[in-house]
């Protein structure tokens, strides 16, 4: 894990994976798959939607569908104070 990834997770970002199905103009009968992965904020996914906007502007391929999976690896709610001690002998 890189420092960038850890910092992003501590700021509330979670690992986001998108399966992007698309058609190329030179093979319109062939549905192709591109897998994209980055740290993003659910449920708005601003980084993913910026990438999809770039795709629509710059890449000559028609989007068919996008399937999104998101998992927060580190959340502030996972950390809690523990009161008391338990001794095992």
* Residues near 60 by beta carbon (within 8 Å), at least 6 away in sequence: 24, 25
For residue 87, tell me if it sits in a domain. no
Token output for 17: 């994976």
59 close to 52: Cβ distance less than 8 angstroms: no
How many structural domains comprise the chain? 1
Each residue of 15-73: pLDDT tens digit? 899 999 999 999 999 999 999 999 999 888 999 999 999 999 999 999 999 999 887 54
For residue 83, tell me if it sits in a domain. no
pLDDT value for 50: 97
Structural domain range at position 56 = 3-76
What is the pTM assigned to this prediction? 0.73
For residue 85, tell me if it sits in a domain. no
H/E segment holding residue 67: strand 62-71
In this structure, the strands spanning 14-24 and 62-71 are: antiparallel
């Amino acid at each position: 894990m890189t420092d960038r990834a850890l910092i992003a997770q501590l700021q509330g970002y979670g690992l986001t994976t998108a399966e992007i199905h698309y058609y190329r103009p030179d093979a319109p009968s062939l549905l192709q798959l591109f897998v994209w992965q980055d740290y993003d904020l659910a449920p708005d996914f601003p980084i993913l939607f910026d990438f999809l906007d770039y795709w629509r502007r710059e890449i000559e391929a028609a989007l068919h569908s996008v399937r999104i999976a998101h998992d927060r690896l580190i959340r502030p709610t996972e950390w809690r104070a523990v009161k008391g001690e338990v001794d095992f002998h």
